[in-house]
Structure 1
Amino acid sequence: MRRAAVVATVFTAGFAAVFAAIFSASCTTLAPLHAPDGRIITEAQTDHRLLRSRSVELHTARYTVHKTFPVLDAGIPSAPVINTRVEEAIRAAERDFLQAAAQAAQLELHAPWDFVVTWTLSEFTPQRFSALLEIYAYTGGAHGSTTLVPINVDIPSGTEILLSDLWKTSQGGVAAEPKTHAEPNARAEPNTRAESDWAGWNEWLRALSETARPLLAAELKRTSGASPDADWLEEGTLPAAANFRIFTLKGDTLIFRFAQYQVAPYSSGMPEITIPLEAVRQLARSRKTGAPQ
C-alpha cells in the first residue's frame, strides 16, 4: 500500500513538472476529405502537447456540422475518462440532430440546418480539468437551441467533480465516494436532505441560491437594460442542485451558467455569474449560527 502511494505521488509530481514545462503551441490543418456521398469533411487541430483542440467539419446539401472539442494527451492521468465523457456528450446530441435531419429529408424539408460544438477551458492543472461544452443545433424555426455540458474531473482519480463535492470540501469534509469507471452514472447529486443525511447540504444550497439571485438579476439587467421577471428568476434559482448543475471551476471560484429559459426568456441568452466558494461558505455558516451576514 505504501509503495503504491509513493508511485502515485511520484507519477503525479512528474506529470506536474511536465505540465509546467511544455504547453507550447503549434497548429496543423489537414486537407479536406471528399466522401463518396458528396460530403466534404475537414479536420484541424491545435496542438498544446497535453491538451489539443480538435475541429471536425462536415458539409452536406441539407446540413453542416462543425465540432471543436478538447482532447487530452493519453499520458495524462484520467485522460481516457475525460475524453470519453466529451465524446459521449457530443455523440448523443449529434445523434439526435442527424435523426431529425433524416426525418426532415423524407418530408422534403431542406432548411440549412446546423450543428455546432464549441468549448471553453476554465481550468487545467495536474489536479483538475474544468471546461464547458456548448452544443448548438438549428433544425428550423425562429432560432436554434443550445445545450451546455460542464466537464469537471479530478485528474488523479478520474472522478467527476459534483457540486456536493465542493460543499463538502468547503466544510472541511471529504469528497463524496468516487464512482467507478464501469459505472459512469453511479454518482447522484442530492437535492434535499430527504435524499441525503449530509448535515448542512440544504443550508449550503440555500446560501448559494441567495448569493446567485442578486448577481443574476444585475447581470440580466446589464445585458438587457431591463429588470428581469422576478418570479422567473426565483424559480430558476431555487435551492436545488439541478438549478446549479452547469458550473466550471477556476481556483476557489465557481463560474455558473444558466440554461436557456431557466431564469429569463430566450433573448436573454444563458447568463454567467462568478461566485467565490468562500462567500457561499460564510453565508451558510452565518445562517446556521444566526450571526450577522
Structure 2
Amino acid sequence: MKRSVSIMAILVAVLPGAAGAASFDCGKAFTLVEKTVCSDRELSGLDDSMQQAYDKALAVVPDPGPLRREQRQWLKSERDACRDVRCLKSRYEKRLGQLNSLLAAGQAPPAAGASAAPGTAVREKKLTRETQTLSIDLSWPEIHSDEYPQAAAALTKRIQADIDKAHREFLKETAEVKPPDIGGERIKNGLSAAYRLTYNVRGIVSLYTDIYTFTGGAHGSTVRTGYTFDLKSGRDRALGDFLGPDWQSVAKSAIVPQINARSEDFFDESRQGRFEIDPAQFYLTPRGVVVFFQQYEIAPYSSGIPEFTVAIEQP
C-alpha cells in the first residue's frame, strides 16, 4: 500500500466539518474536491464568494447562456482537475477575479481572439509551457487597425513588453527555487496572464491584463495593469481626461459609498476614504470609468482586486 497521501485527502480526513458553508450543501459533498472545499475555511469562503459573483454576473450579462456554459466548463475542466489545495485556491482566486471583472464591465466576456466592439481587430496571442516544475500560460492581445496601424502596433508592443518582463522575472525568480512541497506532493510554480478588452469606440481602446504568479506561500498574487489608448493621437488617455482636473475627489466621492455598501470586505481606513487612487489604475467600459486597486491596497486578499465604476458621459 502506498504511504503517500494527497494533501486534499489529508484535509478531508483530519478536518471534517472545519468549514461551515460553501455554495453547495456540505452535508451532501460527494467528490474529493467538494469535501476538500468544505474542510478548508479559506476554500469554502472562496467558493461562496465565487458563487455570489457568478449569480450577480448572470443578472447583468445580456445573454446568460454563454456564461452558464463557461461556468460549467470551469467546474469540470479547471476546478475538478485539481489534486491539491493550492491548485484549488489559485483557480478559485483566478475565477473570482474573472467574474468580478465581468461585473464591473457589465457585459459578457468576448470570445477568445475577438474584439468586444467594432472598429479595431484584436487577435489573441498565446504562450504555454509545462515542465516538471513550471506551469506557464500567457495570453495577450495583438491589436490591428487599418486606420491607425502604427498606433495599434505601438500599443501591442507595449503590452507584450510588459508580459515579457513578467515572464523574464518569473523565470529568474524560479531558476534556483524548488517548487513547494505540500503533504508529499510537489506543486508547480506558476505564471499566467490574461486580458480583457473593455472598450473600443471611436479610436479609443481600453483593456487590462491580469498577471498571476505563484511561487510558494499561502497563495499566489495577481497584478492588474490598465491600458487606455487613443489611437488617433497615439497617446495614453489619463483618468483626468474623463473625470476632470479634480479627478481624485470625484472618483473618491463615487467609490466610498460603494465601499460602505459592502463594508465588511474592506479595511477600516478604506471605509473612511483614507486611500489614494493611482491615476494609472483604471479602464473604460460603456458604463463609465472603472477604477481598480491592487490586492491588499484597500482590502484583504480575500476581496480580490476591488473595482468601482464611476459613471461618466460617453468618452
> Which TM-score tier does this pair reach, normalised by the shorter chain?
0.5 to 0.7
- In 1, the alpha carbon distance for the partners of 2:251 and 2:213 equals 31
1:142 is aligned to 2:218: yes
Paired positions, count: 193
Secondary structure of 1:80 counterpart: helix
- In 1, the alpha carbon distance for the partners of 2:199 and 2:162 equals 19
1:230 is aligned to 2:230: no
Alignment of 1:139-288 (within 5 A): 139-168=215-244, 201=245, 203-218=246-261, 220-221=262-263, 226=264, 228-234=266-272, 237-238=275-276, 241-242=277-278, 244-251=279-286, 253-277=288-312
1:69 is aligned to 2:104: no
Q: For residue 17 of structure 1, what is the aligned residue in structure 2? A: none
User: Retained in 2: the 8 A contact 1:217–1:227?
Assistant: no
Poorly superposed stretches of 4+, deviation over 6 Å: 106-110
Larger RCO (alpha carbons 8 Å, 6+ apart): 2
User: Retained in 1: the 8 A contact 2:126–2:138?
Assistant: yes
Q: CA RMSD in A?
A: 2.8
Alignment CA distance shift 1:252-1:267 (3 Å): closer
Unaligned runs of 5+ in 1: 1-44, 169-200, 279-293
- Deviations along 1:68-116, one digit per CA (max 9) or x if unpaired, are 1111126351111110111111111111111111021599996401101
Q: For residue 160 of structure 2, what is the aligned residue in structure 1? A: 87
Secondary structure of 1:277 counterpart: coil
Alignment CA distance shift 1:62-1:275 (3 Å): same
Pick from 93, 105, 129 the counterpart of residue 58 of structure 1. 129
- In 2, the alpha carbon distance for the partners of 1:108 and 1:216 equals 38
Secondary structure of 2:113 counterpart: strand
User: Retained in 2: the 8 A contact 1:236–1:263?
Assistant: no
Q: For residue 173 of structure 2, what is the aligned residue in structure 1? A: 100
User: Retained in 2: the 8 A contact 1:236–1:262?
Assistant: no
For the pair shown, the structure with the greater C-alpha radius of gyration is: 1
Unaligned runs of 5+ in 2: 1-111
How many percent identity over aligned positions?
A: 24
More strand by proportion, 1 or 2?
A: 1
More helix by proportion, 1 or 2?
A: 2
User: Retained in 2: the 8 A contact 1:233–1:264?
Assistant: no
Q: For residue 172 of structure 1, what is the aligned residue in structure 2? A: none
- In 1, the alpha carbon distance for the partners of 2:284 and 2:217 equals 35
1:65 CA drift (Å)? 0.7
User: Retained in 1: the 8 A contact 2:133–2:179?
Assistant: no
